Amino acid sequence: MKEYRTITKIAGPLVFVEKTEPAMYNELVNIALYDGTIKRGQVLDTSDELVVIQVFETTAGIGRDSGVRFLGETIKMPVGREMLGRILSGGGKPIDGGPDIVPEKRLDITGAAINPYARASPEEFIQTGISTIDGTNTLVRGQKLPIFSGAGLPHNNIALQIARQSKVLGSQEEFAVVFAAMGITKEEANHFMDDFERTGALERAVVFLNLADDPAVERIITPRLALTTAEYLAFELGMHVLVILTDMTNYCEALRQIGAAREEVPGRRGYPGYMYTDLAGIYERAGIIKGKKGSITQFPILTMPGDDITHPIPDLTGYITEGQIVVSRELHRKGIYPPINVLPSLSRLMNLGIGEKHTREDHKKVSDQLYAAYAEGNDLRGLVAIVGKDALSERDRMFLEFADLFEDQFVRQGYEEDRSITDTLDLGWKLLSSLPVEQLVRIDRELIQKYHPQFRGAAKAAE
Amino acid sequence: MKENQKKGDKGVLKRIAGPVVAAVGVDAHMYDVVRVGHEELMGEVIKIQGEEIIIQVYEDTSGIRPGEPVENTGLSLAVELGPGLLTSIYDGIQRPLAVLVEKMGDFIERGVSAPGLDHAKKWNFEPLVKEGDAVKPGSIIGQVQETNIVHKILVPPNAEPATVRTIKSGSFTVDDVVCTLDNGTELTMMQKWPVRVPRPVAEKMNPDIPLITGQRILDGLFPIAKGGTAAIPGPFGSGKTVTQQQLAKWSDAEIVVYIGCGERGNEMTEVLTEFPELEDPKTGKPLMERTVLIANTSNMPVAAREASVYTGITIAEYFRDMGYDVSLMADSTSRWAEAMREISSRLEEMPGEEGYPAYLAARLSEFYERAGLVETLNGSSGSVSVIGAVSPPGGDFSEPVTQNTLRIVKVFWALDAKLSQRRHFPAINWLDSYSLYLESLNDWYDREVSPEWNVLRSWAMEVLQKEAELQEIVQLVGSDALPETEQLTIEIARMIREIFLQQNAYDAVDTFCDMSKQYDMMKAIKAFSDLAYTAQAAGVTPQQIIGVKAKNDLPQIKFIKDYKPELDRIKGEMEKEFNAMRSSV
Ligand SMILES: Nc1ncnc2c1ncn2[C@@H]1O[C@H](COP(=O)(O)OP(=O)(O)OP(=O)(O)O)[C@@H](O)[C@H]1O
Ligand SMILES: [Mg+2]
């Protein structure tokens, strides 16, 4: 393999080389420094005259004397069952002191798109034990459901609680967790690792760590390594894989940095115009394939800059993922855990995973009614601040109280509290029964007769 | 037609940087399809500068090197049109996804070509002309029972008028000649058409029949005409896809073309699993039988995403040529615009607003112009209605794609995150939305629904407008401070919203509501309103009126299939209650 010493320019994470052999687009590149260190990169732009390489580490130490070798392949990830229980760097090297991983396969990390015709509809209900998720934003196997949070909010605990409590009722299949950290602090990473160790989850986990002081550009490949591993575990070994990606905001910052280095025309707020497509290449790597046993369920976590949901990072994410769980600073300030604001939260696959076949026949309508009532009560809070409680009608006062009840009982629960779906739905009915029956316009008569506490008692008594 | 002289011309790749590549030494015209690299990836020429041609490639270009060959096919990007389109699911360049699964497994690899139609399958061709008949472009020469839909076989639009020399009957593939003309032309059941060129029609007409969708807020307040255009912009999660799917399911079009353009894989899977199970309310046949799907999801190549809307609209036009009413949904046109932006920025073109190419507005209007109610070349009438979803960044409608779209389309269904967060679905804002077809459709509603309908609609809109004004006051002083008549207005507006406007797409009954039920529901609300104002004038308090028990049963009507007896009962009860109140004053 020929080594070229024709670097002409280095700008940010980009290295420009001249007069090389024809390099492949996306070809893997090794750059050898004067001290023998090897840095890895990838070809972003290739022509006879000039090859542009994006380096996945810092470019510190690279100079015109560095040697460039083209490796003749695109970036591959060695994968194998042995990876379970291992901790790897954001670039995929073991950092737990254990042996190198003996690969069973080497897979391209970009990952091809799943043919939509080969997909199976996700519809298996995952019980997370958290009411605001199970009851009103139900998660199903194969879904991609991000957590939209803000700096300083307990999104990590929510993610951990989900990872710990998630189960598919009545199923005993093999599962695994793939955890990819991008630019989070050592302290946050430890928080995850300690919890994984305490609960024994680590044995079933593959951990990729790119921490805050690791090179930012490495973050571009970390989620791809994680998802390549997940695809192997899910679609070749038949496991049900939960992928946690945190923090996608740091990933997007790295993307912006590279865009700037390439002097591209920036899109909104300086993020590249292709960020939607780029993120889709990550988030769409979730789902179920017909005829295959495993599945990939994704939990990306992101912190919304300035708590702004219209910021390009949450915005583009929301346009790709199948809903979002929104963590609210206001609820957090009220001392409510988990501070999930159900109003802007959504699970688009909920309807596939609930109802008679999966949870309970009244699920959808109870959820709709809880939303409607909470939204109405929540609106009235604004009004009360202006005109005072006395100016409210009787009806309005009931909804106002409902909103408080809802937050205090339905939203609030313990970090270790694992509620069954039946408990969650019954709790929903209990709260709804604080409203007059005729206000429950979202629910049909029969379900009210069957589940409303007021009639349930009567029905039982009659039996 | 003359053969493209550039066919077969060969050159080499010069530069590769993502989906846009440059080649030298190939003689080409704009939009010629070329084969790129050793793997012969499909691409299209999008720029010519001196010796160099710039190509957008429809597949991933990883691993391709400068120096690899490029060959011009001399053809434009075209689709195959003929029996076999219905029930198919294609990618953006009409490769059948089912065939791709067979050829390359569950993931989309590259370098595999697959024709749009099955060339081995035999179809039963029934001739409709005889020897000696004169035919011209657009003439129907025969038909095939494709699904429950009859597929008409047409003389291609670019053929010359002639006389039928021979015509066959029986079982043929799409490549077999079924008819010859005296000028030597041989006709098969298939034609090819370049996707970027609109198919010709005899004349465009003004639409005057609504596309009935079974969605109350659409049919009732903001109808789209058959052959019309509508845009449905909204932030993420506000209901664009659900609304589009509702239209694909329930609208009274004869053919549906659904384009998933840069959106989610699972959404297409959902259509694929659901549609075969659902019945067309008009024909009772599985919905899939009238449907063609195009799925170029967000993670599939952007160049093919750019092409997908053209592939879709060409197929829609082709069915219109047969005299059918076609409706086309494009979800989402913003992803198409973004694909244009991405390609354009790689061409280093001077960007217009927000990085979009300066020709964005032109492309959008060319696309929507392909909709329309027309007289076809053979004199029948057919229509293509186009409904485009728009996904504005941050939900802000002032961005270029939304704005340029609104300048073209005639119907605006404005999705509103405030409504969807309350689970008021469809989350279409009744104050911001509009339909410019209202006037031209009035006659139809008069005739087919009731002469009263247009009056009822205006009344409902007025109440909703009034409510919005009153809500502003309520925000300042509380509802109790309003005069009594206005308290009633607020209550009646609530009924219109909760009973008529809200419609649950996931309820087996409520998902589709025909015009007569819409009319009955609105009439019932109006009846309550009339009783209420009369009672109020007679001295009954708003609290008493709001407390009328029978009215609480009205929302249930939505969930009942044979709702008439129950509705009559409720109306009777309502009258009784009002009478009792009035006599006790
Ligand atoms: N008519 C409706 N009836 C019931 N629920 C609805 C309706 N419309 C939308 N929804 C709910 O809203 C959710 C989001 O809708 P949808 O997926 O159509 O949003 P979208 O606007 O297409 O978002 P995106 O831009 O991210 O694709 C649905 O999953 C469903 O729960
Ligand atoms: Mg959508």
Distance of CA A40 to the CA centre of its chain: 27
Among residues 8-37 of chain B, which lie with CB inside 8 Å of chain A? Answer: 14-18, 22
The reply to whether B471 and B408 lie within a common domain is no
The reply to whether B214 and B185 lie within a common domain is no
Last residue of a domain, one of B149, B166, B189: B189
- With tokens 């300035």, the residue in question is A306
Q: From CA B98, how far away is CA B515, in angstroms rounded?
A: 38
Least confident range from A261-270, A326-335, B143-152, B496-505: namely: A261-270
The reply to whether B416 and B310 lie within a common domain is yes
The reply to whether B404 and B465 lie within a common domain is no
Mean pLDDT for B372-397 is 96
Q: Nearest chain A residue to B102 by CA: give it.
A: A118
Last residue of a domain, one of B388, B408, B435: B435
The reply to whether B222 and B329 lie within a common domain is yes
Backbone φ and ψ of B200, nearest 5°: -70, 150
Confidence (pLDDT) at B473: 87
Least confident range from A378-387, B202-211, B248-257: namely: A378-387
Q: Is residue B4 part of a domain?
A: no
The reply to whether B412 and B273 lie within a common domain is yes
- Put simply, whether the predicted model's pTM sits higher than 0.90 gets the answer yes
Q: Is residue B96 part of a domain?
A: no
Q: Is residue B112 part of a domain?
A: no
CA angle (B401, B402, B404) in 5-degree steps = 65
The 10s digit of each residue's pLDDT in B521-571 is: 999 999 999 999 999 999 998 888 988 888 888 998 999 999 999 999 999
Q: Nearest chain B residue to A389 by CA: give it.
A: B478
Candidate of B425, B497, B500, B506 to mutate for ligand 1, largest count of ligand atoms within 8 Å of Cβ = B425
Q: From CA B68, how far away is CA B61, in angstroms rounded?
A: 12
- Other beta carbons within 10 Å of B363: 19
Q: Report the half-sphere exposure of A153 (CA within 13 A, side-chain side).
A: 32
Per-residue CA distances from B401 to A83, B231, B240, B393 (Å): 46, 11, 15, 10
Q: Nearest chain B residue to A445 by CA: give it.
A: B556
Q: From CA B483, how far away is CA A317, in angstroms rounded?
A: 47
Beta-strand pair A288-289/A119-120? antiparallel
The reply to whether B332 and B430 lie within a common domain is yes
Shortest CB distance from A273 goes to which of B64, B342, B423? B342
Least confident range from A105-109, B278-282, B515-519: namely: B278-282
Last residue of a domain, one of B60, B75, B90: B75
Q: From CA B317, how far away is CA B331, in angstroms rounded?
A: 18
The 10s digit of each residue's pLDDT in B268-289 is: 998 888 888 888 888 888 999 9
The reply to whether B396 and B461 lie within a common domain is no
Spell out the alpha helix ranges (H) of B450-514: 453-477, 484-495
Provide the percentage of residues in chain A whose pLDDT is more than 90. Answer: 74
- With tokens 């060129």, the residue in question is B197
The ligand placed nearest to the CA atom of residue A136 is 1
Q: Mark yes or no for CB contact A372/B423 under 8 Å.
A: yes
Is 60 exceeded by the pLDDT of residue A28? Answer: yes
A155 within 8 A of A327, measured Cβ to Cβ: yes
Mean residue pLDDT of chain B comes to: 93
Per-residue CA distances from B317 to A105, B141, B371 (Å): 48, 18, 8
CATH of the domain at B33: 2.40.30.20
Confidence (pLDDT) at A457: 65
CATH of the domain at B182: 2.40.50.100
CB contact, 8 Å: A269 with chain B? no
A262 within 8 A of A274, measured Cβ to Cβ: no
Chain A CB contacts of B482 under 8 Å are none
Mean pLDDT for A360-373 is 94
Q: A390 falls in which pLDDT band (50, 70, 90)?
A: confident
The reply to whether B183 and B226 lie within a common domain is no
Q: Which residues of A308-322 are buried (b: 16+ CB within 10 A; e: fewer)?
A: ebbbbbbbbbbbbbb
- Sign for the pseudo-dihedral over CA of A220, A224, A229, A233: positive
- Other beta carbons within 10 Å of B211: 26
CB contact, 8 Å: A34 with chain B? no
Is 80 exceeded by the pLDDT of residue A223? Answer: yes
First to last CA, chain A: 84
Confidence (pLDDT) at A463: 55
Running DSSP on this structure, what letter comes out for residue A306? G
Mean pLDDT for A173-196 is 91
Least confident range from A80-89, A264-273, B23-32, B378-387: namely: A264-273
Confidence (pLDDT) at B376: 96
Q: Is residue B184 part of a domain?
A: yes
Q: Mark yes or no for CB contact A273/B341 under 8 Å.
A: yes
Residues with a CB atom less than 6 Å from ligand 1: A 319, 346, 348; B 234, 236-242, 263, 391, 420, 425-426, 503-506
A441 within 8 A of B498, measured Cβ to Cβ: yes
Q: B70 falls in which pLDDT band (50, 70, 90)?
A: very high
CATH of the domain at B283: 3.40.50.300
The reply to whether B176 and B322 lie within a common domain is no
B240 Cα: distance to centroid of ligand 2 (angstroms): 5
- Other beta carbons within 10 Å of A460: 8
Q: A395 falls in which pLDDT band (50, 70, 90)?
A: confident
Backbone φ and ψ of A26, nearest 5°: 70, 15
Residues belonging to chain A: 463
Q: B1 falls in which pLDDT band (50, 70, 90)?
A: very low
CB contact, 8 Å: A351 with chain B? yes
Shortest Cα–Cα distance, A35 to chain B (Å): 30
Name, in order, each residue with C-beta under 8 angstroms of B451's C-beta and a sequence gap of 6 or more: none
Beta-strand pair A323-327/A147-149? parallel
CATH of the domain at B518: 1.10.1140.10
Confidence (pLDDT) at A239: 94
Q: Is residue B442 part of a domain?
A: no
The reply to whether B396 and B459 lie within a common domain is no
Is 60 exceeded by the pLDDT of residue B2? Answer: no
Q: From CA A129, how far away is CA A152, in angstroms rounded?
A: 23
Q: B560: domain range?
A: 453-584
Backbone φ and ψ of A400, nearest 5°: -60, -45
Mean pLDDT for A444-454 is 90
Mean pLDDT for B238-253 is 94
The ligand placed nearest to the CA atom of residue B415 is 1
Q: Is residue B483 part of a domain?
A: yes
Distance of CA B7 to the CA centre of its chain: 36
Is 80 exceeded by the pLDDT of residue A459? Answer: no
Q: How many domains does chain B have?
A: 4
Chain A CB contacts of B22 under 8 Å are 47
Q: From CA A263, how far away is CA A259, in angstroms rounded?
A: 6
Q: Is residue B28 part of a domain?
A: yes
Is 70 exceeded by the pLDDT of residue A130? Answer: yes
- Sign for the pseudo-dihedral over CA of B363, B366, B370, B373: positive
Shortest Cα–Cα distance, B158 to chain A (Å): 35
Residues belonging to chain B: 585
Running DSSP on this structure, what letter comes out for residue A272? B
The reply to whether B164 and B299 lie within a common domain is no
Q: Mark yes or no for CB contact A312/B61 under 8 Å.
A: no
Q: Is residue B513 part of a domain?
A: yes
Mean pLDDT for B203-220 is 96
Q: Which of B256, B240, B259, B237 has the alpha carbon at shortest distance from B248? A: B256
> Based on the number of CB atoms within 10 Å of its own CB, is A306 exposed (0-12), middle (13-18) or buried (19 or more)?
exposed
B408 within 8 A of B365, measured Cβ to Cβ: yes
